[in-house]
Every structure is written in structure tokens, then in C-alpha cells.
């Protein structure tokens, strides 16, 4: 990656929306919104405003990136559609793990376990050993019961930092008796497009054309769940 390579990253995986621009690995602009407006209403104006604020043209961007999941089904689709539209300029794009994004935001070194609420008693989670630009997965991103998260984290033989929208709750309810498991500071705990840029720079070799960008939900969508439910009900009759 050349020192002047510019990456534009966006995150629409949760209630907030975020856009960041990095040049040569340094974040030069970032904008985050928590608003009643939908991501589809604010994302493109946010991108254009953020680029303008740091004196960068859309045509200057070398790589477009977004959080590809897990996260809100609708939010992820909006972010991916936005990036695909921006790639009409003929530039490459890459989707990065939302969990890796959280881990990169939370710590600069050590083991981070990003956690996101999926539904009652179920969480999205992963584990990353962060060192400089590298983020080595300790175990794969997955969705599962909180008991499975506890089992896997308990097997990590080094201090762990929890990050994400349910990190503080899980520390108090699940890991209260494990002093080796801590929680990162609140302002570093959640999603931020700066982490998308950092992850995209590391995964630049995976970049490709717009049609290669797809969401990674880690669990079935509601439509898929309903289809499976109807299928099971039909078998019983």
C-alpha cells in the first residue's frame, strides 16, 4: 500500500451511521451520526460531507470499504448498496467483519473479544489478537449462546478486553469472577468507520469489483427463518 492510498470506509451495521477517510493508514476525517433518519437517507450526504471536510475528492479514493456483517440486516444491505454505487467509478471495494472493526477500534494490541447483541441470550462474537496492522483471529466470528462465548473466552490464555454494545453487561453477568477479562472504555466500545478503514487496509488483497461484495449475516435472515418454519410445519402435517 502506497503512503498516499486513500480508503473510504462506512459502517451501517447498527443504529449509528459512520463514515471515515484514511490516507496512508492515518484517519484524516470521521463523521458519526445517531439519528432518527434512516441510513439510506444520510449515508451518501455524510460521505460527500466527510470527503469535503478533509479536502478530498471522490475520485481520489483508491478503495471503498464497508462493514459486511454481522449486524442489522437492513443496515448492512444499505451500506453494501452505497459502496456498490460508489464503485461505479470503477474502483475496487472490500467488505470487512463488523467484529474485527470493533476490535480494531477498541485496542491497539492484545486480545479483544468483540460482542454484539443478536437476540435474547444470543450474541455475535469473535476474538482477535491485535498487533500493529495485523489482526489474527483467535477463533472465527460466530453467533451463539452466551454460554458458548464464556467457554471459548475462558480458554484464552491471556488477558482479554471485551468491546461492543453488550460488553459491559456481559462482564457483569458472565465474566464477573474472571479478573483476566476486562472491558474497554465506553467511547471505544462501539462501531466506528475508522475501524473499517484499518481493517480494509489489512485486507486490501481481498478487494474486488462491486459484484463481489456481499453481506455476512452469520445467521438466517427473518425471511429465511419464516421459510424454514413453514417447511418444518409442512412436514408435521
pLDDT at 124: 97
The string of pLDDT tens digits covering residues 130-178 is: 998 999 999 999 999 999 999 999 999 999 999 999 999 999 999 999 9
The answer to pTM > 0.85 is: yes
Given this model, what pLDDT does residue 236 score?
60
The answer to whether 201 and 214 are in contact (CB under 8 A) is no
CATH of the domain spanning 100-188: 3.30.420.200
Angle at 92 between CA 138 and CA 90, to 5 degrees: 170
Q: Please state, in angstroms and rounded to a whole number, the distance separating the CA atoms of residues 49 and 219.
A: 34
CB 13 within 8 A of CB 195: no
Domain boundaries, the chain: 6-99+191-226, 100-188
User: pLDDT by residue (tens digit) across 47-68?
Assistant: 999 999 999 999 999 999 999 9
* 6-99+191-226 and 100-188 agree in CATH topology: yes
What are the residues whose beta carbons fall under 8 Å from the beta carbon of 149, sequence distance 6 or more? Answer: 113, 115, 123, 125, 170, 174
Structure confidence by residue, pLDDT tens digits, 18-48: 999 999 999 999 999 887 778 999 999 999 9
Q: Does domain 6-99+191-226 have CATH number 3.40.640.10?
A: no
Dihedral of alpha carbons 63, 69, 71, 73, sign: positive
166-182 per-position pLDDT tens digit: 999 999 999 999 999 99
CB of 74 closer than 8 Å to CB of 103: no
183-201 pLDDT per residue, tens: 999 888 878 999 999 999 9
Amino acid at each position: 500500500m502506497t503512503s498516499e492510498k486513500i480508503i473510504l470506509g462506512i459502517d451501517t451495521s447498527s443504529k449509528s451511521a459512520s463514515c471515515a477517510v484514511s490516507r496512508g493508514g492515518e484517519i484524516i476525517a470521521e463523521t458519526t451520526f445517531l439519528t432518527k433518519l434512516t441510513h439510506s437517507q444520510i449515508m451518501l450526504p455524510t460521505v460527500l460531507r466527510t470527503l469535503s471536510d478533509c479536502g478530498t475528492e471522490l475520485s481520489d479514493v483508491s478503495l471503498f470499504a464497508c462493514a459486511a456483517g454481522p449486524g442489522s440486516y437492513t443496515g448492512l444491505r444499505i451500506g453494501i448498496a452505497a459502496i456498490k454505487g460508489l464503485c461505479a467509478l470503477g474502483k475496487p471495494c472490500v467488505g470487512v467483519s463488523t467484529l474485527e472493526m470493533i476490535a480494531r477500534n477498541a485496542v491497539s494490541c492484545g486480545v479483544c473479544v468483540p460482542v454484539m447483541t443478536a437476540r435474547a441470550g444470543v450474541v455475535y462474537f469473535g476474538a482477535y489478537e491485535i498487533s500493529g496492522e495485523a489482526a489474527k483471529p483467535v477463533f472465527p466470528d460466530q453467533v451463539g449462546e452466551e454460554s458458548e462465548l464464556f467457554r471459548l473466552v475462558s480458554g484464552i490464555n491471556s488477558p482479554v478486553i471485551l468491546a461492543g454494545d453488550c460488553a459491559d453487561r456481559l462482564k457483569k453477568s458472565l465474566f464477573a469472577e474472571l479478573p483476566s477479562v476486562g472491558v474497554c472504555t465506553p467511547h471505544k466500545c462501539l462501531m466506528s468507520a475508522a475501524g473499517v478503514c484499518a481493517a480494509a487496509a489489512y485486507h486490501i488483497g481481498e478487494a474486488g469489483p462491486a459484484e463481489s461484495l456481499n453481506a455476512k449475516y452469520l445467521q438466517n435472515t427473518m425471511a429465511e427463518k419464516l421459510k424454514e418454519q413453514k417447511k418444518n410445519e409442512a412436514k408435521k402435517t
